[in-house]
Homo-oligomer: A and B are copies of this chain.
Amino acid sequence: MELSPYWLRDNCPCPDCRDPRNGQKLFQITDLPEGLAISASTEREEHLEVLWNDGHRSRYPLAWLTAPAEGDHRTEADKRLWAAADFASGIPEADWADYLADPAERAAVLRAVRRFGFAVLRTVPTEERQVLRVAETFGYVRRTNYGELFDVRVEPDPNNLAFTSVAIAPHTDNPYRDPVPTLQLLHCLENAAVGGDSGLVDGFRAADLLRTEAPDAFATLTRTPVPFGFRDRGAELRADRPLIDVDPLGRIREVRFNNRSIGTLRLPAAELDAFYAAYRRFAALTLRPELQLEFRLDPGDCLVFDNTRLLHARTAFEPGGTSQPPGGAGGGRRHLQGCYADLDSLASTLAVLERRVAVLDTLQDLFEGEGAGEYLGEAVSMAEHMLQAGVLAERAGAPDELVAAALLHDVGHFHGAVTGRELMTGTDNRHSHTGADWLAQWFGPEVTEPIRQHVAAKRYLCAVEPGYRESLSEASEYTLQVQGGPMTAEQAADFAQLPGSTEAVAVRRWDEQAKAADARTPDFAHFRPLLARLLAR
């Protein structure tokens, strides 16, 4: 395998080259010497070890060396281009409550926005300003001259056609902004109008078709900066960008299409003729019926879409009144509230959610896989034992963190250097510590510390509570001895002073009770929303 020396060295993962906390590089590219070269390299333990001619040593995982390029999130390469028929069986959508509760559901919605360019949330409360709350679930609201949010309804003296009842052809918003807002949200508060349906067109698909059907027109649109403009009393915006923007590799990465705000191009007449021919061809393409995805936004629906890719439209409607508050008397009104946000934060939120979903999936796999195994010879499986402990905590009204601690208190049996079986053969696997340390990657101390102390809590209870030791199961009595036996009076006094010891004792009691054979216990999925809430904190 041929390796580029500066590239390889720039990616050295050693702690002198990269901050272990955040991965930021600690040297400048100009710090590397001229003529940098590999003096020697060896493959060892799935790593490539490199000695450089300036004496530095680097060590690269072989899997990293040959990893493929990751998707770029923004160009057509990372998208699924579509026509209306692709959604014949339904559009990407989710219920607001599920979206809030379940990171997997939320990730699916955000993935749809990235992949298809849009998704609809249903049953979002029809309250004013709620659209801002939706945006805050995945990013930051981008304010514009239209405000933090804007009301789309008929206005008596509109500064924009959006605020009338006329039909609006497919377009992207704010083309006169640079940077253009990359996401738009439209939350329907009221739609009793006749007409006023919504339409979406995949602008990337339209551009892709243009490239196929009329490559010269496509090239003309990608290489002609167009002056977009907007002017009123308080604003005078202008951006010069092509209708179809491609990245340096020629991949479509932005469509900016808004007939209403194209200003005056200043080019020789022949170039203007060519541009207008291409523009008209592209515009006609965006109007093809097979590209028009039409649906109606009903109250509670919130459409989230990629404003660098999708064109949105609405049919004309018969207005039922102007500027009335939502929910007022009278029919025929249509009232949406909209705001803008950005794709980069959405992608970041999705990546972090995917990490969380991966944690939940890992835990679920443990419960459903290894967890089915026996639990120290008790009459329940390991998973049943932990699920029962979680249910006991839940029934006792414990806070989320403590329910999670009860549920997960024995994960160290899966993940320690030694397993529960070894504990039962006389070796303390210190499972409380290994479990707590492993979980601390994702959960706070309110979850991990009761787990860390739950073994000590048994030794404590046996020391201070008459009759407790006698109540232990046979296996628990055995492991007590492996774990050091009851605390001394001094140890017990110290333990009682520790922060979190009360919670550890609570977990311990549920632990001892959670060994009921044949109890009806909910499965791991029951606890996912609770764990998801904790992961989000």
Interface residues of A (CB under 8 A from B): 2-7, 10-11, 19, 21-30, 32, 64, 67-70, 72-75, 140-145, 157-161, 169, 176-180, 182, 222-225, 227, 229-232, 234-240, 242, 247-249, 259-262, 264-266, 269-270, 272-273, 275-277, 279-280, 283-284, 287, 342-345, 347-348, 351-352, 355
- Closest chain B residue, CB of each to CB of A233: B352
**Given A22-B230, A74-B178, A347 and B238 contact (CB-CB distance below 8 Å):** yes
Residue of B64, B144, B158, B182 near A140 (CB, 8 A) is: B144
Would you call A4 and B272 a contact (CB within 8 A)?
Answer: yes
Would you call A229 and B23 a contact (CB within 8 A)?
Answer: yes
Would you call B347 and A69 a contact (CB within 8 A)?
Answer: no
> Can you offer 29 A-B residue contacts whose CB atoms are under 8 A?
A4-B269, A10-B276, A21-B232, A24-B160, A24-B161, A24-B261, A29-B279, A29-B280, A29-B283, A30-B169, A67-B264, A72-B227, A141-B143, A142-B142, A145-B348, A177-B342, A178-B343, A179-B180, A179-B182, A179-B342, A223-B248, A225-B247, A225-B248, A225-B249, A234-B352, A236-B348, A236-B351, A237-B344, A242-B248
CA distance A527 to B288 in the complex (A): 59
Q: Which residues of B contact A229 (CB under 8 A)?
A: 23
Most chain B CB atoms below 10 A, which of A140, A234, A259: A259
Q: Which residues of B contact A29 (CB under 8 A)?
A: 259, 276, 279-280, 283
Would you call A25 and B259 a contact (CB within 8 A)?
Answer: yes
CB distance from A505 to the nearest CB of B (A): 30
The list of the 10 closest CB pairs from A to B, nearest first, reads: A179-B179, A4-B272, A236-B351, A6-B276, A69-B266, A140-B143, A72-B240, A7-B272, A223-B248, A2-B269
Q: Which residues of B contact A73 (CB under 8 A)?
A: 178, 238-240
Would you call A142 and B145 a contact (CB within 8 A)?
Answer: no
Q: Which residues of B contact A347 (CB under 8 A)?
A: 236-238
Would you call B10 and A262 a contact (CB within 8 A)?
Answer: yes
Residue of B24, B140, B261, B265 near A260 (CB, 8 A) is: B24
**Given A4-B269, A29-B279, A222 and B235 contact (CB-CB distance below 8 Å):** no
Q: Which residues of B contact A19 (CB under 8 A)?
A: 161
Q: Which residues of B contact A142 (CB under 8 A)?
A: 140, 142
Q: Which residues of B contact A231 (CB under 8 A)?
A: 22-23
Residue of B158, B235, B352 near A235 (CB, 8 A) is: B352
Q: Which residues of B contact A222 (CB under 8 A)?
A: 248
- Closest chain B residue, CB of each to CB of A167: B28
Residue of B232, B272, B276 near A22 (CB, 8 A) is: B232
CA distance A344 to B158 in the complex (A): 22
Q: Which residues of B contact A264 (CB under 8 A)?
A: 11, 64, 67
**Given A142-B140, A276-B10, A343-B178, A68 and B24 contact (CB-CB distance below 8 Å):** no
- Closest chain B residue, CB of each to CB of A75: B240
- Closest chain B residue, CB of each to CB of A6: B276
Would you call B72 and A266 a contact (CB within 8 A)?
Answer: no
CA distance A342 to B5 in the complex (A): 38
Q: Which residues of B contact A140 (CB under 8 A)?
A: 142-144
CB distance from A27 to the nearest CB of B (A): 8
Q: Which residues of B contact A32 (CB under 8 A)?
A: 280
Most chain B CB atoms below 10 A, which of A7, A145, A225, A240: A240
